[in-house]
Amino acid sequence: MNVSSICAGRDQSEPLQRRAKTQPSCDALACRYCGIYKLCLPLGLERADSTLLDSIVRRKAVFKRGQLLFRPGQRFEYVYAIRSGSVKSYLCAEDGRTQITGFHIAGELLGLSAFPAREYSCEARALETTSVCMVDAARFEELAQEVPALQYQMLIIMSRQICQDEELMLLLGKRSAEEKLAGYLVGLSRRYASRNYSPTEFHLSMSRGDIGNYLGIAEETVCRVLARFRKDKLITTQRRHIRLNDIKRLSAMADIFAGARTAQVRKAVAGPV
């Protein structure tokens, strides 16, 4: 059985009925679930959207699937807040190979690592039609000088990103492919839940090959493990939509929440920004 036939295999006995309601691909995320929401609060206005539009967000943009948001060495002008859609970030080696460093969903931020060097350190490309708010970096820094509470909120946002990176390191340790993939799905579930999306049903906009690159396993292995999860009734898939039928079993399989330190990481990543 070849890779394409394994990847194409899906359980159609239970159609995914709630796609439009659980994870809208076109509707913008409510501002209060966005990663920059708390940056608005110190400005003293109740409505996060009007605060951002008036003081920080210079413009909104829509990127089609495959379009580049920014590349390494490009001047740092904006932090990107994803309103809908998803983006992958990755690094390119001199020999042409790439390493995916993250998948970013609605409500999350892109470009924070560019603050120190004033230029972007990786490439970011839309995985599907993606709407973003472009937060003017220079204007934000001006406001941070006037409103010190903004600096604290930015520190919280960056700290949560560090916690998420630490959790990824735990996931990529000496674990089997099943444990890695189960942990990846559970992690996505928590991230969607924190943005007020369904934690059990969502769209996998990234390819199986990209997932394998991110987790350090072969694309064929990703397809076979997903097929095994379907057979064991852990998940139901229909093309790129997935339903997690048993999050408890997937969490136990991943075994990434054992120990006090890991519990702290989980709380920090899942908590509201």
- pLDDT per position as a tens digit, 173-206: 778 999 999 999 999 999 888 888 899 999 999 9
Amino acid 37: pLDDT: 55
Amino acid 33: pLDDT: 57
Q: What percent of the chain has pLDDT over 70?
A: 72
Amino acid 7: pLDDT: 60
CATH number (domain holding residue 116): 2.60.120.10
Both 219 and 252 in a single domain? yes
Q: Looking at 127, 161, 195, which one is the last position of a domain?
A: 161
Both 137 and 193 in a single domain? no
Both 110 and 200 in a single domain? no
Task: Provide φ and ψ at 109, rounded to 5°.
Answer: -110, 150
Amino acid 154: pLDDT: 74
Q: How far is CA 28 from CA 80, 130, 192, in A?
A: 14, 9, 14
Question: Average pLDDT in the 223-249 region?
Answer: 95
Where residue 31 falls among pLDDT bands split at 50, 70, 90? low
Both 54 and 126 in a single domain? yes
Name the average pLDDT for the chain: 78
- Entry pTM: 0.76
CATH number (domain holding residue 179): 1.10.10.10
**Rounded-to-integer distance, Cα 208 and Cα 70, Å:** 24
Where residue 47 falls among pLDDT bands split at 50, 70, 90? very low
Both 131 and 208 in a single domain? no
Q: Are 86 and 143 in contact (CB under 8 A)?
A: no
Both 266 and 229 in a single domain? yes
Both 72 and 113 in a single domain? yes
Q: Which domain holds residue 88?
A: 31-161
**Rounded-to-integer distance, Cα 140 and Cα 153, Å:** 12
Both 93 and 143 in a single domain? yes
Tokens 């060097």 sit on residue = 117
Q: Looking at 94, 126, 161, which one is the last position of a domain?
A: 161
Q: Looking at 145, 161, 177, which one is the last position of a domain?
A: 161
Amino acid 271: pLDDT: 55
Both 42 and 148 in a single domain? yes
Q: Between 46 and 70, whose confidence is greater? A: 70
Where residue 260 falls among pLDDT bands split at 50, 70, 90? very low
Q: What is the count of structural domains for the chain?
A: 2
